[in-house]
Structure 1
Amino acid sequence: MVKSILLVGVGGQGTILASKLLTTGLMEAGYDVKMSEIHGMSQRGGSVSSQVRYGEKVESPVIEVGGADILVSFEKMEALRWLKYLKPNGKVIVNNYQINSMPILSGKFDYPEGIIEELSSKVQTTVADAAKHAAELGNPKVMNVILLGATIKSMGLESLHWDKIVRDNVKEQFAELNLKALQVGMGLV
């Protein structure tokens, strides 16, 4: 059976790195894995999405509308934007984190209220305060690895060799920090 994970966020949040770590771990575990990513205007704070599909045999990297087993959103408004891609019985992991887009910063639109409540009323939702946990670890840049940890736990993938995967794919001086972040994320689920 093929499983589909959709990771979404805003440029600069580390969505692609989290996807690459996930993909590497799944491949090393022997799964057939397909990953596709869309950067959009990511350098300018635009939407970023990454699709990871894995199983015995994966035909396509693309997750169709209503096809994701799990939606991992690094920014809460992005969760609403991508919700239609979730299966009816799918799960959402949402970072309780707000990044104001240009239309909001310019005053043309207001940031929507009640996003977490709306998500929770529609689907099984895990809310992560990854920014708070990353600050406690001393580096706001590990929010992505915290969310990766929550994803790993939600998908039942804890038994893979994440210690080795992280050590092999992040700079040596940040390996311990990222391993702690991964554990924090797993503890959120």
Structure 2
Amino acid sequence: MTKSILLVGVGGQGTILASKLLTAGLLEAGYDVKMSEIHGMSQRGGSVSSQVRYGGKVEAPVIEVGGADMLVAFEKMEALRWLKYLKPEGKVVVNDFEIPSMPIITGKADYPAGIIEELSGRVRTTVIDAARQAEALGNPKVMNVILLGTIITAMNLKAIDWAKIIRDNVKPQLAELNIQALEVGMSLV
């Protein structure tokens, strides 16, 4: 059976790296994996999404509306934007983190209030503060790997050697920090 995970965020949050690490781990475990990514205006703080589908045989890389088993939002407004892609019984992990879009920065719009409450009222939602967890580890840039850890636990993928995947795919001087971040994320779900 094919499983579908949608990772969404804002440019610069490491969404694509997290999905590439996830894909590498799934391939290492012997799954057929398809990944697609949409960068939008990622260099300018725009929406970024990555779709990872895995199983015995995956026919297409794209997740249809209502087809995601899991939605992982690196930024909470993105969770609402992409919620229609989640299956009714799907899981949401949302990072309680705000990055104002250009209309909000320029004063043409307000950041929506009550996002977490709305998500929690509609679907199974786990809220984490990956920024605070990353700060506790001493590097805010590992927020993405913390969020990757939540996927590993929620999708029951702990048997994969994630430490090896990280060592094979990140700079050697950052490998141990990222392994710690992954372990933190795995413990949050």
- Indicate the residue corresponding to 2:121 in structure 1: 121
> 2:161: which partner in 1?
161
In the alignment, which residue of structure 2 is the partner of 1:170?
A: 170
CA drift at 1:103:
0.0
Instruction: Give the Cα separation in 2 of the matches to 1:127 and 1:154.
Output: 13
1:40 positional shift:
0.5
Cα distance in 2 for partners of 1:115, 1:151 equals 21
Separation in 2, partners of 1:73, 1:86: 12
Deviation, structure 1 residue 78: 0.1
What residue in structure 1 maps to residue 7 of structure 2? 7
Per-residue CA distance 1:2-35 (angstroms, 9 max, x = gap)? 0000000000000000000000000000000000
Q: For 2:176 and 2:83, locate their aligned partners in 1 and report how far apart those are by CA, in whole Å.
A: 33
Equivalent residue, structure 2, for 1:146: 146
Q: Deviations over 1:85-120 (max 9, x none)?
A: 000000000000000000000000000001001000
Counterpart of 1:19, as a letter, is: S
| Secondary structure of residue in 2 paired with 1:62 | coil
How many angstroms does 1:154 deviate by? 0.3
Query: Which stretches of structure 1, 4 residues or longer, exceed 3 Å deviation after superposition?
Result: none
DSSP 3-state at the match of 1:179: helix
Q: TM-score scaled to structure 1, two decimals?
A: 1.00
Distance of 1:106 and 1:28 partners within structure 2: 45
Alignment of 1:13-32 (within 5 A): 13-32=13-32
Task: Kindly report which structure 2 residues correspond to 1:85-124, keeping only aligned pairs within 5 A, or say none.
Answer: 85-124=85-124
Read off the aligned partner of 1:116 and give its amino acid letter.
I
Aligned AA for 1:81?
A: R
CA shift for structure 1 position 180? 0.3
1:163, 1:175 → 2: CA distance? 8
Unpaired runs of at least 5, structure 1: none
State the AA in 2 paired with 1:26: L
- Match for residue 37 of structure 2? 37
Letter in 1 for 2:127: V
Percentage of pairs with the same residue: 78
Quick one: distance in 1 between partners of 2:158 and 2:30? 15
Distance 2:41 2:112 in 1: 21
| TM-score (normalizing by structure 2) | 1.00
Instruction: Name the SS of the counterpart of 2:120 in structure 1.
Output: helix
Q: Which residue of 1 aligns with 2:130?
A: 130
Q: Distance in 2 between the 1:34 and 1:62 partners?
A: 8
Per-residue deviation at 1:36?
Answer: 0.2
- Could you list the per-position Cα deviations for residues 14-69 of structure 1 after superposition, in whole angstroms to 9, with x for gaps in the alignment? 00000000000000000000000000100000000000000000000000000000
Q: Which amino acid aligns with 2:20?
A: K
Equivalent pairs counted in the alignment come to 189
Give the superposed CA RMSD: 0.3
Superposition map of 1:35-74 within 5 A: 35-74=35-74
Aligned equivalents of 2:159 and 2:94: distance in 1? 23
